[in-house]
Every structure is written in structure tokens, then in C-alpha cells.
Structure 1
Amino acid sequence: MMLAFPPPLSGMLKKRGQQMSPASRIALVAAVAIAPVFALATPAAAAPIAYKCEATTPIGKVSASLNQEVTATAPATVAAGGDVAVVVDPAPNKVPAKVGNYTLKEVKNFALKVPVPANSTYVSSSVSGGSGVGEATVTHENGTLVLRLSGTLAGGADFELPTLTVTLKAGSSGTIESKLGGTSFADPGLTFTATAQTILGAIDAPTACYPDPNPALTTTTIG
């Protein structure tokens, strides 16, 4: 997992000629979390997915970027009205254990949104496998698949999200382009709460993320 904070924050601290304050460290630690990402379909090759994230902390909003590799498969073509089977397998990952002098205790309340693509109809979905994430469930809610984890992901722990299998029914014509959910921090496709242990106690930071860029991950041609 790669996590990077934007230049303005580090630049601001350097300009002031100060070491990072405890409050700033709390904010940075609370913003650290996982973003294991699913896509509905993509060629059978590992692809890094980049999310922009914003955590709400005691000193305000803190930005971060998160990456996760996934491998997904889906047919290149499908007959009109035919079924499209999409399988997504996220790569193993690791929750960060520390940032600076502070400990990331856990990540919880994980929810990931993936919209059902245009020119297709949702049929079914399931999850299988995975480790270290508790019980994973996927539901279809108003044209969007929502993946939720019941467990908490401890800081420093290895984990692997379950494989997601989705069945779609193709429309009459056109293409089925799969994209991740989320367009902004106000319309996130990934949400979770990061809990950091600090000298002031445990700090919860609700975090919202969206993919940027968000290209079509696969294109299945109908016909």
C-alpha cells in the first residue's frame, strides 16, 4: 500500500520552521487507513487503483492518497441478453502499523461502492475467500453494489479482501464499461473510520475516498 500526503501540508510545516505538533501528528495518523479497491471488470492483469481520501480529524480535514492492486477478469464480448461473469481478486495487503510516533490501532466501518454499469442489469453477486477481514457481505442497493466488512483491521496486520464475483445481464447493444464508485469527497465510493492511538487517547477519523482518475476498467462489447 502506498500512502502520500500532499506537498502543502509538509511545506507549511517546513515554512514555519517547527516540528510537527502533537495535533498535526494525530491528524496524520488518523488519516492513515487502507483502501483495498475492487472494480467490476478489467483485463486479467494486476492494476494499481488510486484513491484520493479525506479524513475528518480534531484539527480539520487531512488529505491522503491510497493505492491497491487488483486483478479482474470479464469477457471481451457478450451476446445481447447474455450473462456477463465478472471476477475480481484483490492482492494481499498490509495495514500500516505506525506513522511517526503514533500507532494506527485499527480500521473499521469499511464500505466500498461499485455502480452497476450502464447497458447491463444486475443478476447476482457473491464473495469468497479473503483473510483477516471478518465477515464480508455484498448487497445491491439502488443500482450500486456495496461491499462491507464486519471486522476491524488491526494496524500492522496482513489481510486479503475476498474475491468478488458479479453476474450481469447484457443489454441489447452498446458496451458495458465498469467503473468504481465515487466522484468527490461529498460523493465517496469508499468510506471507513481510522482509529489512531495517541498520547491524548484514541482518535477516530471518519474518512471518505473516491478514485482519481476513474477510467473505465473494462469494456465488454455487446453483439
Structure 2
Amino acid sequence: MKALQFSRLAALAAAAALPIALAVPASAATAINFDCQADAPVVGPQQVSLTQNADVTAPATVAPGGAFDVVIDPAQNTVPSDVGGNKVKNINTFALKIPIPANSSFVSADLAGGSGLGDTPPKIDFANNVATLSFPGPIAGGSTFKLPTVTAHLKAGTSGTIETKLAGTSYSDPGLTFNAVASSIIGDVTAPTACFPNPSPVFTTTTIG
């Protein structure tokens, strides 16, 4: 029973750190539902549904070949200190994949603000048409934090529409990964967690023209 409680703890503790990627046509609070699986020791994989809010923006139209920005401003969160009688020690090792939409190309990305994320600042790397926001943490259980605002600078293609979505289609193809560490009757246990948006909505439709 304790092991089952821990597996739920690992997934739920990690929930507080979920970031949000990519945008809506005007500034608005957007809720994304994530389907997550925590690979908890002893009892094996455990599933949990998670929701995170963010204010996100992108233009409705852009000229062919024109520059435009997608801005992601995640809401503040608090890591649970205790779930199911188990103490949450920390959550750490975050990586969020932001796919560059079809009919656009990546130019650069800026990070601004953010707090409570640990000693190492977040960074964005770009490879294989995916921008990845990552940082090691840790974020202690019970603490409040805010992810940085991300501004992605993109270039429009020649025609069509540019639809922004989150990466990830399954537990084996996640758009978001992280670890949760908790105290249990068998000692400190780390549960690697993989998430994908389910359903995966289109957040922005920008028309080229």
C-alpha cells in the first residue's frame, strides 16, 4: 500500500512543475491537460492526469517571409510538500519540447524572469526543428516557483497557416520529462515521469498573407 501511495506521490509531486508550450492568437489563460506516466520503483508505471495554465500570445496574421513572435508566460506553481503521507523532497531535471510549426522556421528564443528554479538558469537548445527548454533544478517540495517567459522568434514561410501545438504523442514519445524524488518506507525514491498533451489542441493559427 505504501509503495502504491509513493507512485501516486511521485506523479502528483511532479505535476506542479509542468510548463506550457506555444501560443494562442491573443493574450489569454490557456489550460492544457497532460497525460503523464511516472515510472515508480516496486509497483511500476503509474498514470495521472495533470493540468497547467499559462498566458500565451501569437499574431493572427503575418506577411510571407515575415518575422513574428510566440510568447509563453507560464503561471506560478507550488510543489506539494506531502502527498498520501509521503514527503516530497524535490522535483528536478526538466525538459520541455517545443516543436517549430510547419510553414515557419526558428530564428532564436529569449528567456525572461522565472524564480525558484534552482541555482542553474534555464536554457533553450534547438535541434531537429525542436526547441527544448530545460533546467536541472531541483525545486524543493512545498516551494513556490515560476518558469521563465519564453519568446520564440520565428520566420513565416511563403503561404498557408502556422499552427502551434505541444510536442508529444505518447509516454514513449513525450513532450515533457522530469523526475520526482520522495521519501518512502524504502528510502528516497526517484520516479522518472513522461507526459504528453491529451488531447493535443491547436493553440495558435497564424495566417500567412
Task: Return the TM-score normalized by structure 1.
Answer: 0.88
Contact 1:39/1:217 (8 A) holds in 2: no
CA distance in 1, matches of 2:72, 2:113: 12
Corresponding position of 1:174: 160
Deviation at 1:38, TM superposition (A): 2.2
Match for 2:198 among 212, 216, 220? Answer: 212
| RMSD of Structure 2 on Structure 1 (CA) | 1.0
CA distance in 1, matches of 2:29, 2:138: 26
Amino acid at match of 2:140: A
Q: Which residue of 1 aligns with 2:3?
A: 23
1:37 and 1:49 in contact (8 A); partners too: no
Aligned to 1:9: none
- The residue that corresponds to 1:98 in the other structure is 82
Q: Which amino acid aligns with 1:82?
A: G
TM-score (norm 2): 0.94
The corresponding residue for 2:39 is 56
CA distance in 1, matches of 2:35, 2:89: 22
Letter in 2 for 1:96: P
8 A contact 2:32–2:197 mirrored in 1: yes
| Structure of higher RCO (CA pairs closer than 8 Å, 6+ residues apart) | 2
How do 1:141-180 and structure 2 match up within 5 A? 141-180=127-166
The 1-side partners of 2:86 and 2:23 are apart by 38
Q: Which runs of 5+ in 1 are unaligned?
A: 1-20
1:7 counterpart residue number:
none
Residue 33 of structure 2 contacts residue 199 of structure 2 at CA under 8 Å; is this kept in 1? yes
Instruction: State how many pairs are aligned.
Output: 203
Runs (4+) of structure 1 exceeding 4 A deviation are none
Runs of at least 5 residues in structure 2 that lack an aligned partner in the other structure: none
Identity of aligned residues (%): 51
Superposed, which structure 2 residues align to 1:2-21 within 5 Å?
21=1
Letter aligned with residue 122 of structure 1: F
Q: Distance in 2 between matches of 1:206 and 1:90?
A: 22
Greater radius of gyration (CA) = 1
